[in-house]
Homo-oligomer: A and B are copies of this chain.
């Protein structure tokens, strides 16, 4: 049982891979800054490390999925990120694919509560 939890952490980490990207993209149809995303996603049940998020944002911007601009007029300077047109495309496609993955998974994960006897 303890062993199970040990490996679970790693497996779960892998499971969450990529979902962070979708989560982030999903919040950026309006400009938001990193720290807000961290707290925001946390509220929604998605934990993201700052050390994960900031490089992610930069990566996505570098790839052209996001655009950014500093806002220095507020109390503290914040870097706001926003979906680019490409980003919107990618986001849409990602969602479609995500849903297909979810569907495939539900096909594969055993149908609990409905024990099938046929073995076709």
Question: How many copies of this kind of chain does the complex include?
Answer: 2
- Indicate if A41 sits at the interface (CB-CB under 8 A): yes
Q: Give A13's nearest chain B residue, CB to CB.
A: B18
* Contact residue among B15, B18, B26, B107 (Cβ-Cβ distance under 8 Å from A97): B15
- A-side residues, CB < 8 A to B, are 1, 3-5, 7-8, 11-19, 21-23, 26-27, 29, 41, 44-46, 63-65, 86, 89-90, 93-95, 97-98, 100-105, 107-110
**A12-B18, A27-B108, A45-B107 given. 13 additional CB < 8 A pairs?**
A1-B89, A4-B90, A5-B93, A8-B93, A12-B97, A15-B21, A17-B17, A23-B104, A41-B108, A45-B103, A46-B105, A46-B108, A95-B109
